[in-house]
Amino acid sequence: MILVGIILAVAVALLRGGKLERLSNLGLKLLPLVWLVLVMRSLVAVLESRGMPWAPLLQVAAYLILLGVLWLNLAAPGMKLFGLGSLLNFLAIAANGGAMPVSPSALAFLNMNKTPSGTHTLLTAESRLPFLTDIIPLWMPYPQVISVGDILIVAGMFLFIQQRMLAGGRLVSAEK
């Protein structure tokens, strides 16, 4: 969903006269740490498949680093939404042992028969904070189940990309 949101944001900005090259300098503090977070989150599924019981803790650690980076960049347009969405996802993941629960009924609604693994697990009656988990079925651009946090993350990224591509590199405060 996030990649599709980025592509859509860039396309809309281009249609509005934005310049792609304005994304070359995002003006965000500690941005390289986001790459570390992506690597850490990618390792979780690999480590779990190899029987490493501490792998979910890596997911929690990755979110803590991400939340720190977002906190340092809250002044940037869209970062408050992005940060709130990330915080909501983090709360659901941390409360459920390092994995995001996914609604079996939402999976069935989308005719998705796969059992989540790695960074996801099935939502059960024992799952904590179920309203923050992946419970929203989405058909487009492909069948998936998302959370409220995911929606806020994409909305924040959309606003940030619009601002960067249209502002010519200046930070224009769209939210205060």
Q: Quick one: residue 111, left, alpha or beta (phi over 0 = left, psi -120 to 50 = alpha)?
A: left
8 A C-beta contact, residue 68 and residue 87:
no
- pTM beyond cutoff 0.75: yes
- As a dihedral over the C-alpha atoms of residue 40, residue 45, residue 46, residue 51, rounded to 10 degrees, the angle is 120
> Residue 170 above 80 pLDDT?
no
Average pLDDT on 70-91 reads: 97
pLDDT of residue 91: 98
pLDDT digits (tens, 9 = 90+) for 16-57: 999 999 999 899 999 999 999 999 988 988 898 888 888 889
**Per-residue pLDDT tens over the stretch 93-148:** 999 999 999 999 999 999 998 877 778 999 999 999 999 999 999 998 889 999 99
Q: What is the DSSP letter of 7?
A: H
Q: Judge whether 90 and 148 are in contact, CB under 8 Å.
A: no
User: Cα dist. 37→22, 57, 164 in Å?
Assistant: 24, 13, 23
Write the burial class of residue 152 (CB in 10 Å: 0-12 exposed, 13-18 middle, 19+ buried): buried
CB atoms closer than 10 angstroms to residue 117? 12
Residue 116: predicted pLDDT: 78
Length of the chain: 176
